[in-house]
């Protein structure tokens, strides 16, 4: 693909992918330290870029936490409302990861099992996505090969229930700025560094529980979505007040306007990609 088309795809595909992202990646923020686990790393012939430390707020960074849920060690627990994922490693102890959540990520709850794992998975829009938004998804009906510019990122875990694919995925992202936020599309996304390590640790057959809203409220408590798109516990009044002041001062962009701009860019990108695949450019 010519460089111009690659750049266009990288900037706008994040707005369109089912199990994809929401915002274009940014360069690292000068002056902030990147924790070792989120630095650039070699992954076969590819290099996973370092995560911009501006995205590594307290809820997004992986961290060891005490775990009070009923799930047994070895389980993965997804809370799409608190936007966290727990890998329960031992009794009452888990590694917590920040996640991004799309509409699809809140359309499933209950128990499932990891029955398939893919490195740099292929992605294609579903028939329903093509039917409901043909201008956006129609040009990409043939799908996209795996890679760092693929909406599923570096790895994907595919969840099954009663032997059937749930179409619920836990995967990486081409857009680290989306982690911790709710986006217009997609399933459950982690930083690529996080999904690579979780992928290695979660064997086929791993049990996964996706919490309902009622379970989330019971175990995590009420959450408040900030104008930045992140969530914090309702008890974190300092963060809520700081967010309010920044919004009133005009320091935070309107996320609905940003998403509208990204949608239009994504349509143009999809059309450009179709022309490339057909050899018309």
Helix (H) or strand (E) holding 169: strand 164-171
Catalytic residue among 19, 187, 209, 227: 187
The pLDDT tens digits of the residues spanning 192-230 come to 999 999 999 999 999 999 999 999 999 999 999 999 999
Catalytic residue check, 171: yes
Name beta bridge partners: 100: 189
pLDDT at site 149: 85
Of 87, 171, 209, 227, the active-site residue reads: 171
H-assigned helices in the chain: 3-12, 127-132, 134-137, 192-201, 213-220, 237-248, 255-277
Q: Can you say how many angstroms the Cα of residue 230 is from the centroid of all Cα atoms in its chain?
A: 13
Which residue ranges form the domains of the chain, and what is each CATH number?
22-126+141-253 (2.40.440.10)
Give the pLDDT of residue 151.
86
pLDDT at 108: 86
Among 11-15, 49-53, 186-190, 195-199, the range scoring the smallest mean pLDDT is 11-15
């Amino acid at each position: 693909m010519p460089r111009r088309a690659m750049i266009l795809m990288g900037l706008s595909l994040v707005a369109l992918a089912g199990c994809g992202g929401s915002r274009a990646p940014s360069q690292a923020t000068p002056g902030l330290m990147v924790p070792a686990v989120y630095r650039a790393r070699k992954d076969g012939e590819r290099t996973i870029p370092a995560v911009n430390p501006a995205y590594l707020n307290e809820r997004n960074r992986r961290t060891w936490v005490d775990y009070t849920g009923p799930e047994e060690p070895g389980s993965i627990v997804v809370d799409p409302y608190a936007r966290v994922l727990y890998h329960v490693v031992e009794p009452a102890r888990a590694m917590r990861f920040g996640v991004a959540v799309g509409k699809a990520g809140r359309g499933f709850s209950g128990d499932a099992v990891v029955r398939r794992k893919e490195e740099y998975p292929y992605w294609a829009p579903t028939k329903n996505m093509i039917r409901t938004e043909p201008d956006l998804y129609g040009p990409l009906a043939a799908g996209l090969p795996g890679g760092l510019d693929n909406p599923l990122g570096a790895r994907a875990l595919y969840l099954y229930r009663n032997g059937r694919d749930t179409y619920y995925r836990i995967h990486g992202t081409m857009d680290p700025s989306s982690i911790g936020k709710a986006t217009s599309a997609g399933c459950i996304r982690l930083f690529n560094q996080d999904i690579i390590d979780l992928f290695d640790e979660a064997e086929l057959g791993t049990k996964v529980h996706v919490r309902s809203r009622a379970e989330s409220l019971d175990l995590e408590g009420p959450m408040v979505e900030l104008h930045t798109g992140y969530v914090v516990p309702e008890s974190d009044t300092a963060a809520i007040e700081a967010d309010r002041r920044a919004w009133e001062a005009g320091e935070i962009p309107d996320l609905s306007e940003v998403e509208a701009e990204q949608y239009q860019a994504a349509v143009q990108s999809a059309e450009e990609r179709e022309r490339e695949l057909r050899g018309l450019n």
